[in-house]
Amino acid sequence: MTVESLQDLFLEALKDLYYVEKTLVKKLPKIATLASSSDLRDAINQHLQETEGHVERLDQVFEMIGRKATAKKCDALDGLLKEAESVTGEIEDPQTRDAAIISSAQAVEHYEIARYGTLACWAEDVSNDDVRDLLQATLDEETAADQKLSAIAVSSINQSAAA
């Protein structure tokens, strides 16, 4: 599509995030099996459930703006996942692999934090409070997931992974 206004950008970013969330719903179960720390595995599985909720919220947003829910290939996420898989696939030591999983997951969280932050901000000008609140609710969960991963890294993984 031709992008000519903030409304168009908003729709394109929604499609991008729809691809991101749907891809993560498929990828997270595999990532959880690679984690050796039970805290980390639990956090990933909890975030999988949240991610399923994020897809539902995006479905609601598409419906509220009268558009069909559509995913658009996101080169940024694909690059993040390619990098994550190439690093974690090389690591045999469980604690070091856990540290790499957390690092990669936080890079993905920050991609989502950036995009949801932008969308929630744009919603002020191109949509309504209900749409903004849905996007903000997901943004808050992504931010909390990022902080939880930091806490797990510091409390139980990094020191063990430092040789």
Q: Where are the alpha helices (DSSP H) in the chain?
A: 6-34, 38-64, 75-88, 94-126, 129-152, 158-161
User: Which residues, 91 to 120, sit near a second copy by CB under 8 A?
Assistant: 91-93, 95-96, 99-100, 102-103, 106-107, 109-111, 113-115, 117-118
Q: Which 3 state secondary structure label does DSSP give 89?
A: coil
Place of tokens 């991101």: 20
Residue closer to a second copy (CB basis): 34 or 99 = 99
Residue closer to a second copy (CB basis): 28 or 80 = 80
Kindly state the smallest distance separating residue 141's Cβ from a second copy, in Å: 16
What number of chain residues touch a second copy (CB under 8 A)?
Answer: 56
Cα 112 to Cα 18, 23, 43, 77, 154, distances in angstroms: 11, 13, 17, 9, 22
Residue type for 117, please?
Answer: G
Kindly state the smallest distance separating residue 159's Cβ from a second copy, in Å: 6
Question: What's 68's DSSP letter?
Answer: -
Residue type for 2, please?
Answer: T
Footprint of a second copy (CB under 8 A): 2-9, 12-13, 16, 74-80, 82-83, 86-87, 90-93, 95-96, 99-100, 102-103, 106-107, 109-111, 113-115, 117-118, 121-122, 124-126, 146, 150, 153-154, 158-159, 161-163
